[in-house]
């Protein structure tokens, strides 16, 4: 079985995001970029499935500018077999990404697609679900445990009331949550080997997908700054402020 894993290039989660002065978006110039953390978990899960003898090949797909190949190389250094880069200079919305991935799925014929549940830049949490709908495949979202059978997959999802156990028929789209696994670090020998692994380049036109944006960003604002705390002289004063000023009790 072949596993397809979409990976996205985003601002590194350790970097403090800054809004552009004209509020048209966030500052990307001279900012450290990395693979989306949820996608790292997806790559790790695909590798574990392959190491268990349940998959033959892991193919990574990234949609974005030429620098996205660096993100693919990161996944190849972790142990994936090859990559596909879909060139795009402008921001690609989730529906367009799902359509591009559908075209790649039809071309590659994987038995399983494993995605991060969301990207940490736009937090849309849409691509996996849209891809499932476009393909007509079963979907399992927010997976915290994945057990693969010959024709079905058993998934455990974290929900508000506890854990939900579901079973889906393969082929399927699975989106993964934080508690699924701990991604491995790429070793130096694997980083060197990754430089020789193939990455195919495609365009949206070659795949027959229109990526024209349907949404327009009106304004991006930083969250309001938190006001400083105060000290109170007694428990009675604290209760009074919580009741009459904060109105939380």
Nearest to 176 by CA among 40, 62, 42, 37: 42
Per the structure, the count of domains in the chain is 1
Domain that holds residue 52: 2-244
Q: Are 184 and 50 in contact (CB under 8 A)?
A: no
Evaluate whether residue 249 is within a structural domain: no
Q: What are phi and psi of 65, to 5 degrees?
A: -70, 175
Q: Are 47 and 184 in contact (CB under 8 A)?
A: yes
- Read off the pLDDT band of 30 (50, 70, 90): confident
Evaluate whether residue 19 is within a structural domain: yes
Please state, in angstroms and rounded to a whole number, the distance separating the CA atoms of residues 246 and 239. Answer: 10
pLDDT at 190: 92
Evaluate whether residue 38 is within a structural domain: yes
Evaluate whether residue 180 is within a structural domain: yes
Evaluate whether residue 130 is within a structural domain: yes
What is the DSSP code (8-state) at residue 119?
Answer: -
Nearest to 113 by CA among 159, 168, 195: 168
What are 172's two structure tokens? 């399927």
CATH number of the domain to which 90 belongs: 3.40.50.620
What is the DSSP code (8-state) at residue 179?
Answer: G
DSSP letters, 49-76, are HHHTTS-SEEEEEEEESTTHHHHHHHHH
Chain segment 84-110, per-residue pLDDT in tens: 999 988 889 999 999 999 999 999 999
14 forms beta bridges with none
Evaluate whether residue 193 is within a structural domain: yes
**Mean model confidence pLDDT for the chain:** 93
Chain segment 119-167, per-residue pLDDT in tens: 999 899 999 999 999 999 999 999 999 999 889 999 999 888 889 999 9
Evaluate whether residue 56 is within a structural domain: yes
pLDDT at 227: 81
Q: Specify the pTM.
A: 0.86
Q: Are 15 and 121 in contact (CB under 8 A)?
A: no
Evaluate whether residue 200 is within a structural domain: yes
Q: What angle (nearest 5°) sits at the alpha carbon of residue 173, between those of residues 110 and 163?
A: 140
Please state, in angstroms and rounded to a whole number, the distance separating the CA atoms of residues 164 and 143. Answer: 10
């Amino acid at each position: 079985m072949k596993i397809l894993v979409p990976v996205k290039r985003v601002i590194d989660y350790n970097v403090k995001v800054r809004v552009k002065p004209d509020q048209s978006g966030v500052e990307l110039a001279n900012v450290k970029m990395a693979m989306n953390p949820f996608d790292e978990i997806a790559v790790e899960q695909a590798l574990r499935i392959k190491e268990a003898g349940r998959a033959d090949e892991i193919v990574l797909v990234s949609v974005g500018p030429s620098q996205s190949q660096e993100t693919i190389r990161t996944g190849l250094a972790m142990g994936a077999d090859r990559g596909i880069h879909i060139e795009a200079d402008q921001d690609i919305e989730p529906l367009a990404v799902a359509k591009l991935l559908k075209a790649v799925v039809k071309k590659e014929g994987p038995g399983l697609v494993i995605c991060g549940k969301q990207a940490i830049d736009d937090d849309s949490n849409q691509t996996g679900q849209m891809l499932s709908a476009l393909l007509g495949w079963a979907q399992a979202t927010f997976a915290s445990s994945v057990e693969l059978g010959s024709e079905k997959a058993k998934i455990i999802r974290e929900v508000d009331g506890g854990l939900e156990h579901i079973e889906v028929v393969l082929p399927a789209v699975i989106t993964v949550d934080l508690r699924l696994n701990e991604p491995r670090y790429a070793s130096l020998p694997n980083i060197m080997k990754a430089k020789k692994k193939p990455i195919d380049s495609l365009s949206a036109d070659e795949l027959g997908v229109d990526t024209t944006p349907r949404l327009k960003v009106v304004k991006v604002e930083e969250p309001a700054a938190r006001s400083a705390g105060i000290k109170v002289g007694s428990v009675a004063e604290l209760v009074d402020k919580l009741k009459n000023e904060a109105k939380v009790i």
